Amino acid sequence: MIFEKTSLTGAVRIELEKRVDDRGFFARTFCIDEFAAAGLDTRFVQHNTSLGQKAGTMRGLHFQHPPHGEIKVIRAVKGAVHDVIVDLRPGSPTFGNWEGFDLTEENGTMLYVPAGFAHGFQTLRDYSVVAYLVSTAYTPGAESIVRWNDPALGIDWPLPVSVISEKDETAPDIDLASGGPLA
Protein backbone atom coordinates (compact mmCIF):
# COMPACT_ATOMS: atom_id res chain seq x y z
CA MET A 1 0.00 0.00 0.00
CA ILE A 2 1.10 3.54 -0.70
CA PHE A 3 0.18 6.06 2.01
CA GLU A 4 -0.20 9.72 0.94
CA LYS A 5 -0.97 12.64 3.25
CA THR A 6 -3.97 14.77 2.31
CA SER A 7 -4.50 18.49 2.86
CA LEU A 8 -6.23 17.67 6.18
CA THR A 9 -4.00 16.87 9.16
CA GLY A 10 -4.04 13.16 9.94
CA ALA A 11 -6.18 12.06 6.97
CA VAL A 12 -4.41 9.71 4.57
CA ARG A 13 -5.16 8.56 1.04
CA ILE A 14 -4.16 4.92 0.51
CA GLU A 15 -3.37 3.56 -2.94
CA LEU A 16 -3.39 -0.18 -3.48
CA GLU A 17 -0.30 -1.86 -4.83
CA LYS A 18 -1.86 -4.24 -7.32
CA ARG A 19 -0.15 -7.38 -8.51
CA VAL A 20 -1.61 -7.79 -11.99
CA ASP A 21 -1.59 -10.86 -14.21
CA ASP A 22 -3.87 -12.46 -16.79
CA ARG A 23 -6.32 -13.48 -14.02
CA GLY A 24 -6.83 -9.87 -12.88
CA PHE A 25 -5.11 -8.49 -9.79
CA PHE A 26 -4.40 -9.10 -6.12
CA ALA A 27 -3.89 -6.35 -3.53
CA ARG A 28 -3.91 -6.02 0.24
CA THR A 29 -6.45 -3.57 1.63
CA PHE A 30 -5.21 -3.81 5.22
CA CYS A 31 -1.93 -4.86 6.82
CA ILE A 32 -1.38 -4.19 10.51
CA ASP A 33 2.39 -3.80 10.00
CA GLU A 34 2.09 -1.36 7.09
CA PHE A 35 -0.58 0.73 8.83
CA ALA A 36 1.52 0.86 12.02
CA ALA A 37 4.67 1.81 10.05
CA ALA A 38 2.68 4.69 8.52
CA GLY A 39 1.68 5.85 12.03
CA LEU A 40 -1.97 4.85 11.58
CA ASP A 41 -4.25 3.17 14.08
CA THR A 42 -4.58 -0.57 13.52
CA ARG A 43 -7.51 -1.46 15.81
CA PHE A 44 -10.84 -1.87 14.02
CA VAL A 45 -13.90 -3.36 15.71
CA GLN A 46 -16.49 -3.13 12.92
CA HIS A 47 -16.58 -3.66 9.17
CA ASN A 48 -19.56 -1.89 7.58
CA THR A 49 -21.05 -1.99 4.09
CA SER A 50 -23.36 0.56 2.48
CA LEU A 51 -25.27 0.28 -0.80
CA GLY A 52 -26.50 3.31 -2.71
CA GLN A 53 -28.99 2.08 -5.30
CA LYS A 54 -29.21 5.32 -7.25
CA ALA A 55 -26.54 7.79 -8.41
CA GLY A 56 -26.74 10.97 -6.35
CA THR A 57 -27.63 9.20 -3.10
CA MET A 58 -26.29 11.18 -0.13
CA ARG A 59 -25.12 9.85 3.25
CA GLY A 60 -23.69 12.11 5.93
CA LEU A 61 -22.00 14.14 7.24
CA HIS A 62 -21.78 11.87 10.33
CA PHE A 63 -19.45 11.70 13.31
CA GLN A 64 -19.39 10.52 16.92
CA HIS A 65 -18.41 12.68 19.89
CA PRO A 66 -15.49 11.68 22.15
CA PRO A 67 -14.78 9.29 23.70
CA HIS A 68 -16.61 7.41 20.92
CA GLY A 69 -14.85 9.09 17.99
CA GLU A 70 -14.45 6.78 15.00
CA ILE A 71 -11.43 6.21 12.82
CA LYS A 72 -12.61 4.94 9.44
CA VAL A 73 -10.92 3.33 6.43
CA ILE A 74 -13.27 3.73 3.46
CA ARG A 75 -13.26 2.05 0.05
CA ALA A 76 -15.70 1.74 -2.86
CA VAL A 77 -15.86 -1.95 -3.75
CA LYS A 78 -18.47 -1.50 -6.51
CA GLY A 79 -19.35 1.62 -8.45
CA ALA A 80 -18.08 5.00 -7.32
CA VAL A 81 -18.60 7.61 -4.62
CA HIS A 82 -17.48 11.14 -3.91
CA ASP A 83 -16.30 10.89 -0.31
CA VAL A 84 -16.03 14.06 1.81
CA ILE A 85 -14.39 14.55 5.20
CA VAL A 86 -14.51 17.64 7.42
CA ASP A 87 -11.99 18.26 10.21
CA LEU A 88 -13.97 19.05 13.39
CA ARG A 89 -11.09 18.69 15.85
CA PRO A 90 -10.75 21.87 17.93
CA GLY A 91 -7.14 23.03 17.84
CA SER A 92 -6.33 21.21 14.60
CA PRO A 93 -4.51 23.37 12.03
CA THR A 94 -7.09 22.23 9.45
CA PHE A 95 -10.17 22.65 11.69
CA GLY A 96 -13.28 23.50 9.66
CA ASN A 97 -11.70 22.49 6.34
CA TRP A 98 -13.00 19.76 4.07
CA GLU A 99 -11.63 17.68 1.22
CA GLY A 100 -13.33 15.39 -1.29
CA PHE A 101 -12.06 12.19 -2.89
CA ASP A 102 -13.41 10.03 -5.70
CA LEU A 103 -13.29 6.43 -4.56
CA THR A 104 -14.08 3.94 -7.32
CA GLU A 105 -13.94 0.21 -7.83
CA GLU A 106 -11.42 0.84 -10.63
CA ASN A 107 -8.96 3.03 -8.72
CA GLY A 108 -9.22 1.04 -5.47
CA THR A 109 -8.26 4.17 -3.53
CA MET A 110 -8.98 4.04 0.20
CA LEU A 111 -9.30 6.88 2.68
CA TYR A 112 -8.10 6.82 6.30
CA VAL A 113 -10.26 9.24 8.30
CA PRO A 114 -9.11 10.14 11.83
CA ALA A 115 -11.49 10.42 14.79
CA GLY A 116 -12.96 13.90 15.05
CA PHE A 117 -13.86 14.18 11.38
CA ALA A 118 -17.36 14.36 9.95
CA HIS A 119 -17.74 11.96 7.04
CA GLY A 120 -20.20 11.57 4.19
CA PHE A 121 -20.42 10.46 0.60
CA GLN A 122 -22.51 10.75 -2.53
CA THR A 123 -22.87 7.88 -4.98
CA LEU A 124 -21.67 8.69 -8.48
CA ARG A 125 -23.16 5.57 -10.08
CA ASP A 126 -26.19 3.37 -9.51
CA TYR A 127 -25.58 0.39 -7.19
CA SER A 128 -22.43 1.71 -5.56
CA VAL A 129 -21.15 -0.23 -2.56
CA VAL A 130 -18.85 1.21 0.09
CA ALA A 131 -17.04 -0.92 2.66
CA TYR A 132 -15.34 0.57 5.67
CA LEU A 133 -13.46 -0.42 8.77
CA VAL A 134 -14.40 1.43 11.96
CA SER A 135 -12.31 1.67 15.14
CA THR A 136 -15.17 2.13 17.63
CA ALA A 137 -18.56 0.51 17.94
CA TYR A 138 -21.50 2.64 16.86
CA THR A 139 -22.87 4.50 19.90
CA PRO A 140 -26.29 6.07 19.16
CA GLY A 141 -26.03 8.63 22.00
CA ALA A 142 -22.66 9.87 20.70
CA GLU A 143 -23.74 10.28 17.07
CA SER A 144 -24.06 13.69 15.50
CA ILE A 145 -24.63 15.04 12.01
CA VAL A 146 -23.69 18.17 10.14
CA ARG A 147 -25.88 19.18 7.20
CA TRP A 148 -24.39 18.01 3.90
CA ASN A 149 -25.02 21.39 2.23
CA ASP A 150 -24.18 23.71 5.11
CA PRO A 151 -23.17 27.06 3.54
CA ALA A 152 -20.46 27.58 6.18
CA LEU A 153 -18.62 24.57 4.74
CA GLY A 154 -19.36 25.21 1.06
CA ILE A 155 -18.86 21.61 -0.01
CA ASP A 156 -18.99 21.14 -3.78
CA TRP A 157 -20.95 17.93 -4.37
CA PRO A 158 -20.69 16.61 -7.94
CA LEU A 159 -24.36 15.61 -8.52
CA PRO A 160 -27.80 16.82 -7.52
CA VAL A 161 -29.05 14.81 -4.54
CA SER A 162 -31.42 12.05 -5.67
CA VAL A 163 -32.00 10.22 -2.37
CA ILE A 164 -31.31 11.32 1.22
CA SER A 165 -32.62 10.27 4.62
CA GLU A 166 -34.82 12.68 6.55
CA LYS A 167 -32.23 12.64 9.35
CA ASP A 168 -29.46 13.79 6.98
CA GLU A 169 -31.67 16.31 5.15
CA THR A 170 -32.74 18.02 8.40
CA ALA A 171 -29.32 17.91 10.12
CA PRO A 172 -28.17 21.14 11.74
CA ASP A 173 -25.56 23.51 10.38
CA ILE A 174 -22.08 23.53 11.85
CA ASP A 175 -21.07 26.06 14.48
CA LEU A 176 -17.41 26.54 13.65
CA ALA A 177 -16.94 28.72 16.75
CA SER A 178 -17.80 25.81 19.05
CA GLY A 179 -16.68 22.96 16.80
CA GLY A 180 -20.02 21.21 16.61
CA PRO A 181 -23.45 21.27 15.04
CA LEU A 182 -25.94 23.89 16.06
CA ALA A 183 -28.59 22.45 18.39
Q: Is 47 a catalytic residue?
A: no
Are residues 79 and 127 in contact, defined by beta-carbon separation less than 8 angstroms? yes
| H or E element that contains 36 | helix 32-37
Q: From CA 26, how far away is CA 21, in angstroms rounded? A: 9
Say which of 62, 82, 112, 119 is annotated catalytic: 62
DSSP reduced 3-state for 167: helix
**112 catalytic, yes or no?**
no
For residues 102 and 159, the answer to whether their CB atoms sit within 8 Å is no
Q: Active-site residue among 82, 112, 119, 132?
A: 132
What is the DSSP annotation of 107-143? T--EEEE-TTEEEEEEESSTTEEEEEEESS---GGGE
Buried b (16+ CB within 10 A) or exposed e, 136-174: beeeeebebbbbbebeebebebeeeeeebeeebeebeeb
Q: What are the catalytic residues?
A: 62, 132
